[in-house]
């Protein structure tokens, strides 16, 4: 099956053990699912400090951000699943058409089998364990592939999973994605593949899964805009966009990629944005313990290159030795420049003016179907105009990022930003097969469906199926 670099993974043996464990029915009972989720929660709590230290070592992620956007969200997802698991597992009785009487109909959620979860580096805990919560709640076995770009965190995630689960229930595979994933997908028939990462790699995952007709969920990205209307609370909009842009040094799939600001409020917006950025990180952000770093040299060089695509209004300082790029704002940008056509994934905000709403639609359509959209306006008609006219995965009105933290909301992309939805019950549904069953009654049926087909039978049929 190729070269899967991990000290404890034997593909032929361990993947078969996962399949056998599932087929044996061990993962299906409610008690087993509940206890597995509780075990994951305990293990996560036991290793919280190690995770926070590992994320800081991998990308200097601040403790607060590491807990808020990684560890805390997993705890919330587990808690939500435990509160609703029994309800989710119940069959759903549905109506039966009169043409099928006497019979009853119901939908039975069933686990898929053995699933593969491929996680990225930017949020290496939540994007590995949150999908796993749904897979376990739905009664599956799983293989989890953490990102080797955050190696210290990946090691702790493996310890957590090994502590919480038997290896025939959940197994971790480490190594480079390009070396590990293709032989995994080619050599074993997974029942679902869940991938979070870039659009380019997502296309490759989809192609690799196609020969076996393996269903795939792709959580990708794109250029998620914040649209600031002249009727917005400008100071508040600037504060919230700055928070979303520089959180995790901009390495967030739903970060504000660029801001489209009405010309009439451009000056006060930029002034407020600079003010709040300084309040967040001080006059020398490089010394701030609250500001992360780029994950590797490749991404540092890529993001630094965007600084040449416009006029640097503030920021721009960078240090290759630390992979540090200051919180920065670019103005006077051409819409055909790389920074306006590639996902930035760094602490650099292009700000583009607009006057008419149609201009905004035109700019967004250059990079259609973003993963997120943020609209800042007090006008409901303006809010509705942009949220209805633009195709996007999810988002907020008058804030940023918050929708990711609500397990009652489906999360996922559309078009080039992905396919499939998860969080809360959508995660359970994603990793379940909803089996429809009709149970015929014991009473004699009317018999109109059986030959010979008399004229009166056709009349009854037409009446019953109206």
Distances in whole angstroms, Cα of residue 197 to Cα of each of 43, 132, 218, 386: 26, 16, 8, 26
CB 293 within 8 Å of CB 57: no
* Helix-helix angle 199-209:177-187, to 10 degrees: 20
Out of 141, 253, 396, 400, which one is annotated catalytic? 253
Decide: helix, strand or coil at residue 166. coil
| Angstrom distances, CA of residue 50 to CA of 71, 155, 157 | 11, 10, 10
Specify whether 253 is catalytic: yes
Write down the residue that tokens 């999908």 correspond to.
131
126 three-state secondary structure: helix
Give the Cα separation of 239 and 242 in Å (integer): 5
DSSP bridge partners of 194: 117, 217
Distance of CA 158 to the CA centre of its chain: 20
Cα angle at 208 between 205 and 211, to 5 degrees? Answer: 140
Determine whether 115 is exposed, middle or buried from the number of CB atoms within 10 Å of its CB (0-12, 13-18, 19+): buried
User: Which residue spans within 242-316 are E strands per DSSP?
Assistant: 258-262, 311-314
- Strand, helix or coil at 148? coil
C-alpha 41/C-alpha 168 separation (Å) is: 19
A 10 A CB-CB count for 39 gives: 17
Nearest to 61, CA basis, from 254, 284, 245, 294: 294
Q: Which of 219, 343, 396, 400 is catalytic?
A: 219
Q: Are 106 and 93 in contact (CB under 8 A)?
A: yes
Residue 48 appears among annotated catalytic residues:
no
- Most distant CA pair in the chain: distance in Å? 88
What span, in angstroms and rounded, lies between the C-alpha atoms of 379 and 360? Answer: 16
Cα 26–Cα 27–Cα 31 angle in degrees, nearest 5: 100
Catalytic residues: 219, 253
């Amino acid at each position: 099956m190729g070269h899967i670099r991990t000290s404890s993974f034997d593909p032929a043996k361990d993947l078969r053990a996962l399949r056998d464990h599932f087929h044996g029915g061990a993962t299906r009972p409610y008690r087993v699912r509940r206890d597995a989720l509780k075990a994951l929660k305990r293990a996560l709590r036991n290793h919280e400090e190690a995770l926070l230290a590992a994320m800081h070592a991998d990308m200097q992620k601040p403790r607060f951000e590491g807990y808020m956007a990684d560890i805390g969200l997993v705890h919330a997802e587990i808690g939500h699943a435990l509160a609703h698991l029994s309800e989710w597992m119940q069959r759903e009785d549905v109506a039966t058409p009169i043409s099928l009487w006497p019979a009853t109909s119901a939908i039975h959620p069933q686990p898929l089998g053995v699933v593969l979860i491929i996680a990225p580096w930017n949020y290496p805990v939540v994007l590995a364990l949150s999908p796993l919560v749904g897979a376990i709640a739905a009664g599956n076995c799983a293989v989890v592939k953490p990102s080797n770009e955050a190696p210290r965190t990946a090691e702790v995630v493996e310890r957590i999973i090994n502590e919480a689960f038997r290896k025939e229930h959940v197994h971790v595979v480490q190594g480079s994605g390009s070396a590990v994933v293709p032989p995994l997908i080619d050599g074993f028939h997974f029942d679902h593949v869940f991938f979070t990462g870039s659009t380019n790699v997502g296309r490759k995952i989809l192609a690799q899964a196609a020969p076996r007709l393996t269903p795939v969920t792709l959580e990708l990205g794109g250029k998620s805009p914040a649209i600031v209307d002249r009727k917005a609370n400008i100071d508040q909009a600037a504060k919230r966009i700055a928070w979303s842009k520089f959180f995790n040094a901009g390495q967030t799939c739903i970060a504000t990629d660029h801001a489209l600001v009405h010309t009439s409020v451009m000056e006060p917006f930029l002034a407020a944005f600079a003010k709040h950025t300084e309040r967040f990180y001080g006059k020398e952000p490089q010394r701030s313990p609250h500001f992360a770093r780029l994950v590797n040299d490749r991404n540092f060089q890529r993001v630094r290159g965007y600084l040449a695509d416009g006029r640097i209004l503030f920021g721009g300082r960078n240090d290759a030795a630390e992979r540090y790029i200051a919180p920065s704002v670019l103005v006077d940008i051409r819409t055909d420049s790389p920074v306006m056509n590639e996902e930035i994934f760094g602490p650099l905000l292009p700000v583009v003016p607009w006057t008419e709403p149609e201009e905004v639609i035109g700019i967004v359509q250059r990079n259609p179907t973003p993963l997120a959209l943020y609209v800042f306006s007090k006008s409901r008609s303006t809010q509705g105009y942009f949220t209805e006219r633009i195709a996007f995965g999810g988002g907020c009105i008058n804030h940023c990022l918050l929708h990711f933290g609500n397990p009652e909301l489906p999360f996922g992309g559309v078009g080039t930003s992905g396919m499939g939805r998860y969080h809360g019950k959508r995660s359970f549904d994603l990793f379940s097969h909803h089996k429809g069953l009709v149970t015929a009654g014991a009473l004699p049926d009317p018999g109109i469906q059986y030959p010979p087909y008399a004229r009166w039978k056709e009349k009854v049929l037409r009446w019953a199926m109206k």
